[in-house]
């Protein structure tokens, strides 16, 4: 296995001999084996450990284990503590995404501070397979089927040629101690469901399913190279840039063999997801003036072009409301008041005030602009409805849409502020606590 890893490093030009590298070490079998191999292969390693404080005593156990491991190899050891839950809430992202963002940002800084030319992580074949299946389930383009890249900038993954089983056998043969993350056995996270439920079920159909998927990923990666080259050729003929804006010629786009796919590949570079790209495509024959947003960019439908430009850096599009807040002034004025349910309580029927079941609300709340692809359950209705369709039904014009804000709880729309509440948060006979939210001028 050591020889296989060395050949993989050489074939993909991942690392140069004798260079200093930062090694992410969690304490699990994967990273312990990787550190052992890099030492055997003669690399100068700096061991780096992140404590995300998500697993109580286990997190402390892992930190102490990695510290002793680094000491046994006489390595430089760096560690950091993160309040991952707080970071996730303040940035309105999942715990998994928060941990990833924190980890890689710290790895980059620590690598720079310690003059490490590369950051090495212990991803293996099983991780790549799980990533592809996750992408398939969530929806993806061809790029999402290419798995985890062996090299991304200065981040390298020399064990992508090994399976989890091979790594564990190596650890056993070399008598390497490691720690086990008990949450890997829990199916709360999507990746664990794939690992513990979906892949074993697939193996019942094809015992060699992991090898088959790994082979397919390799083929998809080659197909992506051909595909992306063609997309770039098309992009060069239908787009041009001027004054920090990208112009996409609508007629030239529509003349392509698969125009919707071409548009998706162009827009995803600007952080537009597949739902918004679909909305943009479906709006090509509509009147000019429609606007579509990603987290970073805006698309304006003009008469002959789609115009992509960067949202002003100082134009904040999301605001947070904490549970302790009773009023906010920015971006709009709202007051919040908690009320105990009573028999004679009367639910507001005005557009400027809503009453919702406080126990269905999860703080912090978010106020943000609406995006194409957003949907909600209009008050009084059980079915979901796209906001774009709701605006048409309500005869909301283009300028009005630009000024609309949403109140959101855990990615669910609570209120199209000043227009309609969401049925999922309505007051029922089981409601005990009420949150009153009022729009003030």
How far is it, in rounded angstroms, from Cα 137 to Cα 106?
30
| Cβ contacts of 433 within 8 Å, gap of 6 or more | 338, 339, 340, 341, 357, 358, 359
Mean pLDDT on 414-434: 94
pLDDT confidence bin for 138, thresholds 50/70/90: confident
For tokens 């908690």, name the residue. 338
| Cβ contacts of 286 within 8 Å, gap of 6 or more | 301
What region does 410 belong to: left with phi over 0, alpha with psi -120 to 50, or beta? Answer: left
As its CATH architecture, domain 2-212 has 3-Layer(aba) Sandwich (3.40)
Return the HEC string of 5-59: HHHHHHHCCCCCCCCEEEEECCCCHHHHHHHHHHHHCCCEEEEEEEECCCCCHHH
Rounded percentage of the chain residues whose pLDDT exceeds 70 = 98
Number of CB atoms found within 10 A of residue 237's CB: 12
Average pLDDT, the chain: 91
pLDDT confidence bin for 399, thresholds 50/70/90: low
202: its two tokens: 């697939």
pLDDT confidence bin for 229, thresholds 50/70/90: very high
pLDDT of 56 strictly over 60: yes
| Cβ contacts of 147 within 8 Å, gap of 6 or more | 128, 129, 131, 132, 217, 220, 221
* pLDDT number for residue 314: 55
Q: Which residues of 155-178 are buried (b: 16+ CB within 10 A; e: fewer)?
A: bbbbbbbbbbebbeebbeeeebeb
Q: Which of 305-319, 353-367, 389-403 is most confident?
A: 353-367
pLDDT tens for 240-294 read 999 889 999 999 999 999 999 999 999 999 999 888 899 999 999 988 888 888 8
Domain range summary for the chain, segments of one domain joined by +: 2-212, 243-310, 318-439
Mean pLDDT on 82-105: 88
Whether this model's pTM surpasses 0.85: no
Helix then strand then coil, % of the chain, to nearest 5: 40, 20, 35
Mean pLDDT on 76-105: 90
Mean pLDDT on 221-237: 96
How far is it, in rounded angstroms, from Cα 385 to Cα 373?
10
């Amino acid at each position: 296995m050591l020889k296989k890893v060395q050949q993989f490093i050489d074939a993909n030009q991942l690392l140069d001999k004798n260079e200093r590298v930062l090694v992410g070490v969690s304490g699990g079998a994967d990273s312990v084996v990787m550190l052992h191999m890099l030492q055997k292969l003669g690399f100068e390693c700096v061991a780096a450990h992140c404590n995300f404080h998500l697993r109580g005593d286990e997190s402390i156990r892992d930190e102490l284990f990695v510290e002793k491991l680094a000491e046994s190899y006489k390595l430089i050891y760096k560690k950091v503590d993160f309040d991952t839950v707080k970071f996730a809430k303040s940035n309105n992202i999942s715990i998994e995404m928060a941990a990833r963002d924190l980890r890689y940002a710290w790895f980059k800084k620590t690598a720079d501070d310690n003059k490490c030319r590369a950051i090495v992580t212990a991803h293996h074949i099983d991780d790549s397979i799980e990533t592809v299946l996750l992408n398939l389930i969530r929806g993806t383009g061809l790029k999402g089927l290419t798995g985890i890249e062996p090299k991304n900038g200065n981040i390298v993954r020399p064990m992508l040629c090994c399976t989890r089983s091979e790594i564990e056998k190596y650890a056993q043969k070399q008598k390497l101690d490691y720690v086990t993350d008990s949450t890997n056995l829990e199916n709360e996270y999507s990746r664990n469901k794939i690992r513990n439920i979906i892949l074993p079920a697939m193996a019942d159909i094809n015992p060699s399913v992991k090898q088959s998927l790994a082979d397919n990923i390799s083929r998809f990666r080659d197909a992506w190279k051909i595909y992306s080259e063609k997309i770039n050729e098309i992009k060069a003929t239908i787009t041009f840039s001027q004054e920090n804006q990208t112009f996409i010629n609508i007629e030239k786009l529509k003349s392509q063999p698969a125009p919707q796919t071409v548009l998706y590949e162009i827009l995803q570079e600007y952080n537009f997801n597949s739902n918004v790209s679909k909305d943009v495509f479906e709006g090509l024959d509509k009147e000019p003036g429609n606007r579509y947003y990603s987290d970073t960019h805006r698309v304006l439908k003009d008469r002959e072009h789609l115009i992509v430009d960067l949202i002003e850096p100082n134009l904040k599009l999301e605001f947070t409301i904490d549970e302790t807040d009773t009023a906010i002034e920015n971006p709009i004025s709202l007051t919040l008041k908690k009320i105990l349910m009573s028999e004679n309580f009367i639910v507001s029927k005005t557009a400027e005030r809503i009453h919702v079941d406080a126990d269905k609300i999860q703080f912090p709340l978010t106020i943000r602009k609406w995006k194409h692809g957003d949907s909600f359950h209009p008050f009084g209705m059980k079915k979901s409805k796209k906001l774009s369709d709701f605006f048409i039904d309500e005869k909301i014009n283009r300028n009005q849409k630009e000024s609309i804000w949403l109140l959101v709880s855990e990615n669910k729309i609570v209120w199209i502020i000043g227009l309609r509440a969401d049925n999922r948060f309505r007051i029922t006979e089981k409601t005990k606590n009420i949150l009153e939210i009022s729009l003030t001028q």
